[in-house]
Chains A and B, each alone.
Chain A
Amino acid sequence: MTFAATLPRPPRRVLPGFGLSLGFTLAYLGLIVLIPLSAAFLKTAGMSWDEFVTAVASPRVLASYRLSFLASLAAGMVNMFFGLIVSWVLVRYTFPGRRIVDALVDLPFALPTAVAGIALTAIYSKNGWVGRWLEPHGIKVAFTELGVFVALTFIGLPFVVRTLQPVLLELEPEIEEAAASLGANRWDAITRVILPELFPALLTGFALAFARALGEYGSVVFISGNMPMRTEITPLLIITKLEQYDYRGATAIAVVMLVASFSMLLLINLLQKWSRRHHRI
């Protein structure tokens, strides 16, 4: 037989465990993530085009896209602005309790969204700590679009800060000193040297916060009041359809959201690549 003549092939890899880790990684990834995710797409593939369009483009669904998109956008922008200030203050200044504040920034990552949801509702409702000051001025937050925006701002808060911090830390003081030595005043140095340097990271942080906000559910449902056409976010609509046993309708909306999320993921990856390349120079 020819087998006997085959020389023993040298092992291709010196470190052990390639086959084992590859096999386990792919199997686990497939079982937990890829196969279940593909179920959503396959389910939708079984729908007719008209059925699909009716499910994902009815006025109520369109209103939910609009709310989810605009509230996420607004929350992302606010986080971009305040995130820049917070990270600047945390990196550049020292004040008592700075380390505690720094650790606290991650609270939205650590606090379960349902807890955040009921807490924000308590604060911004008519009798709440903040709500009672706003209500007399005609500003209603809880159970309005503004409430959705507040919840999404909360959960997106750490993203911009945590993306900017390392970049700010690595930013060499020399470039500011160089700007100053070339006659730039502080404002010029910040707007023409520092901000452009931070821009890719700022945009990445915004995109991360925005993407997270699009899919957010737990913190929003309590404060939004869930009125159809007005304060109903897209994830909630999926739940509503599921409760009505409209699996196909729910899945169709889910597929639209998945496509949006994956596009965001792709965009974020590109942004990060850009950010890294930008930063290396």
Chain B
Amino acid sequence: MATAIPSTLVVSPAPAGMTPRATHDPVWVRWTLTAVALLFLLFFLVLPLAAVFTEALRRGVGAYFAAVREPDALAAIRLTLLAAAIAVPSNLVFGVAAAWLIAKFQFRGKSLLTTLIDLPFAVSPVISGLIYVLVFGLQGWFGEWLLDHDIKIIFAVPGIVLATTFVTFPFVARELIPLMQAQGADEEYAAITLGANGWQTFWRVTLPNIKWGLLYGVILCNARAMGEFGAVSVVSGHIRGETNTMPLHVEILYNEYNFVAAFAVASLLALLAIVTLVLKALVEWRHAQSRQA
């Protein structure tokens, strides 16, 4: 920079670089605010995360691996993966269909529909489980019929899948709807005038345009699906090795004062959270790139 060279010949009354710009805060303010923000985040985010791994490894690596390889823990992992493997794709298909509907067409009741899609976010997880008990539980609407036909939903795997689907219901849709609305429908119209049919238009034009938003929604949806606690707690029945997901298994171990094992399983979920955050940041970055390019 030219102003960095001191000049004895030119006496400049107020070098441009010296006057604070109107949008800049004084240095001490900047430092104070940054310190306050980082301290707050340290106490509320970093410490809990660090605590999980510290507690998990308190008795050493051996105890850690013993805890996560224990059969009930493995069963919980399998069930968690299964629930997510059903709930996430279902909500993915729903999200794409709902976003296509809301972004590409005009019809009456559209804003009501958009609000209804968000509804599960407003419902307490505990209530999300409760409503399925009311429908499929022994005392519920279909309780007797299910009992007669020997179908178990509540206190069994189907209930867990349903509750998981409910709490993760809006994730993909609410990522895609604003994205597709912003993109408009011109590219689809162009594809149609060029002779493409509906599926060709969707697969070749729409999907490539929304892939980052879709992936983003799926990542968030999956994190919540694997980590859900309250809703599955109500419908699970807590049968070890059968209807316990990972978060429920953590609870049982914790309540048995088996802290190392509880934190060991919890650390797997914490790793999942970290992976989620990393993927999310990567997708955000890629998305920003693809929009710039």
Interface of A toward B, CB cutoff 8 Å: 13-18, 20-22, 24-25, 28-29, 32-37, 39-40, 43, 82, 85-86, 88-90, 92-93, 95, 99, 101-116, 118-120, 122-123, 128-130, 153-154, 157, 173, 176-177, 179-181, 186, 189, 211, 214-218, 222, 235-236, 238-239, 242, 247, 250-251, 254, 257-258, 261-262, 264-265, 269
Contacts and interface: CB of A to CB of B under 8 A. Distances in A.
A171 B262 CA distance: 46
B61 interface: no
B229 interface: yes
B125 A217 contact: yes
B135 A218 contact: no
B198 A120 contact: no
A33 B48 contact: no
Contact of B40 (A20, A82, A108): A82
A255 B276 CA distance: 34
B172 to A, nearest CB: 12
Nearest to B251: A114
6 contacts: A16-B197, A17-B101, A20-B97, A24-B93, A109-B224, A261-B122
A3 to B, nearest CB: 27
Nearest to B96: A21
Contacts of A115: 52, 227, 247, 250, 266, 269-270, 273
Contacts of A214: 124
Nearest to A30: B116
Contacts, number: 277
Contact of B201 (A16, A218, A261): A16
Interface of B: 22-23, 25-26, 30, 33-34, 36-38, 40-41, 43-49, 51-52, 55, 90, 93-94, 97-98, 100-101, 104-105, 107, 113, 115-120, 122-127, 130-135, 137, 139-141, 162, 165-166, 169, 185, 188-189, 192, 197-198, 201-202, 220, 223-224, 226-230, 233-234, 246-248, 250-251, 254, 259, 262-263, 266, 269-270, 272-274, 276-278, 280-281
Contacts of A257: 124, 127
Nearest to B254: A118
